[in-house]
């Protein structure tokens, strides 16, 4: 079977070995061919080329093909519609899946494409922007627009993929038919990498891993570190807010206590950095996962997290993790408490890896593939 995927993720074309790369490495085993239509990309200046990488890019054995738009984002619905028709005519895809989120260019283009080709498709909702808490006005607007858009878009899809009960419950409140919604988690935990990584010496008190954007709550975490006398934080990841957070660290005179590692090359490097601390903290305001919390748990880290995304379904406070309200004061108190209680850290670390049984990579991606294949029969 051949799959057409409409996605905003072009990290692989930017030569980043992130979550999408690991997903496709396994998903490709379940399909004869996967074509991914995505927005245009800008190549790093270090390559010596500027601007857009146009045309097709075949990766990972030739079974996965990327088709980035050669024009700005405003043209993305048009690109999805026309490029999609060309691909379907050439290769005969049986099903399509669409990653949907504001500003909804994926859904707008995919709905037109589905009408023109009678292609059955699923609408995938990994994260409802700004829910339960909006990090800024942009996210608040995104939440309002999502409330208006999703009920209309779902009418054209044969199924909706929700990645957690948290997402499903919100969609049902928005009057999306429950019978159309399938919970198919997207938190694929690689047992081999997560359980065999050799722990380095501990040189930090707290680790954080995530894209450096407002909803991840890094600003509040840095403020929490400032409230602690000598705690050290390592920040793993990159993003548009990095310069802002680095300036904040300088202004708080925390340059020797908050270290930015940036984007690391692969999951093994990320896990190695996470394990160099006593605990992992992620105070997100809204999430689909967060995957990084689950990965930290899987490799035996004591975790402090806000109750967002799938977290309320997997963390039992005081048993396999700690829940925080995300304020600097509450985080500082719980970080201080965990640092002072080695026995509790040990108990949390022993219980946390059981999460692997629920979200083991090969099983979950097979479930995802089976869900996509079932669209052809709906």
Domain chopping of the chain, boundaries = 2-188+360-377, 191-359
Residue in 178, 182, 129, 143 with CA at minimum distance from that of residue 160: 182
- Residue matched to tokens 């490097």: 269
End-to-end CA distance of the chain, in Å?
15
Tell me phi and psi for residue 67, to 5 degrees.
-130, 80
pLDDT at 44: 52
Residues 6+ apart with CB under 8 A from 104: 145, 149, 153
Residues 6+ apart with CB under 8 A from 63: 28, 31, 32, 33, 34
- CATH code for residues 2-188+360-377: 3.40.50.2000
Regions of the chain short of the pLDDT cut 70? 43-62
pLDDT at 122: 98
Where do runs of H (alpha helix) occur along 252-360?
267-274, 291-298, 311-314, 328-339, 342-351, 356-359
Tokens linked to 124: 């995938």
Tokens linked to 151: 């009920």
Walk across the sheet containing 64-68 and list its strands: 57-59, 64-68, 33-38, 2-6, 95-99, 121-125, 159-162, 181-183
* Cis peptide, bond prior to residue 18, ω within 30 of zero: no
* Cis peptide, bond prior to residue 132, ω within 30 of zero: yes
Tokens linked to 308: 């967002």
pLDDT at 198: 86
Tokens linked to 239: 């993003």
- CATH code for residues 191-359: 3.40.50.2000
Tokens linked to 198: 């050799």
DSSP 195: H
Residue in 301, 296, 299, 297 with CA at minimum distance from that of residue 338: 301
Number of neighbouring beta carbons within 10 Å of residue 118: 7
Containing H/E element for 365?
Answer: helix 361-374
Identical fold for domains 2-188+360-377 and 191-359, yes or no, is: yes
Q: How far apart are CA 78 and CA 106, in angstroms?
A: 10
pLDDT at 288: 87
Number of neighbouring beta carbons within 10 Å of residue 346: 12
Output the CA torsion 288→149→74→81 (10° steps).
Answer: 100
**Burial state string for 205-236 with b = 16 or more CB within 10 A and e = fewer than 16:** bbbbbbbbbbbbbbbbbbbbbbebeebbbbbb
pLDDT digits (tens, 9 = 90+) for 265-280: 999 999 999 999 999 9
């Amino acid at each position: 079977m051949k799959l057409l995927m409409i996605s905003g993720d072009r990290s692989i074309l930017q030569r980043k070995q992130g979550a999408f790369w690991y997903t496709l490495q396994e998903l490709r085993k379940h399909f004869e061919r996967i074509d991914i239509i995505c927005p245009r990309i800008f190549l790093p200046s270090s390559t010596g080329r500027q601007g857009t990488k146009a045309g097709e890019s075949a990766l990972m054995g030739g079974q996965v093909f990327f088709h980035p738009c050669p024009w700005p984002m405003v043209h993305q619905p048009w690109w999805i519609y026309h490029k999609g028709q060309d691909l379907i005519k050439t290769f005969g895809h049986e099903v399509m899946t669409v990653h949907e989120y504001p500003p909804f260019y994926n859904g707008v283009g995919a709905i037109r494409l589905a009408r023109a080709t009678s292609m059955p498709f699923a609408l995938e909702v990994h994260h409802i922007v700004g829910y339960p808490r909006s990090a800024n006005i942009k996210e608040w607007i995104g939440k309002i627009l999502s409330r208006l858009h999703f009920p209309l878009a779902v009418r054209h899809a044969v199924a909706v993929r929700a990645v957690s009960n948290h997402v499903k419950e919100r969609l049902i409140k928005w009057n999306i038919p429950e019978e159309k919604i399938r919970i198919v988690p997207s938190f694929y935990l690689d047992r081999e990498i997560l359980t065999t990584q050799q722990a380095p010496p501990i040189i930090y008190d707290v680790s954080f891993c995530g894209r450096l954007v407002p909803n991840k709550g890094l600003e509040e975490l840095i403020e929490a570190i400032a409230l602690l006398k000598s705690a050290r934080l390592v920040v793993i990841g990159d993003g548009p807010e990095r310069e802002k957070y680095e300036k904040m660290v300088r202004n708080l005179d925390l340059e020797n206590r908050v270290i930015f590692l940036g984007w690391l090359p692969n999951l093994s490097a990320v896990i190695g950095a996470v394990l160099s601390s006593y605990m992992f903290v992620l105070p997100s305001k809204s999430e689909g996962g967060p995957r990084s919390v689950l990965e930290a748990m899987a490799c035996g880290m004591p975790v402090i997290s806000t109750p967002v995304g799938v977290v309320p379904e997997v963390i039992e406070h005081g048993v396999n993790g700690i829940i925080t309200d995300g304020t600097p004061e509450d985080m500082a108190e719980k970080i201080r408490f965990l640092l002072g209680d080695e026995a509790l850290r040990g108990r949390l670390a022993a219980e946390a890896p059981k999460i692997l049984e629920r979200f083991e990579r090969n099983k979950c991606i097979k479930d995802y593939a089976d869900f996509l294949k079932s669209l052809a029969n709906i």
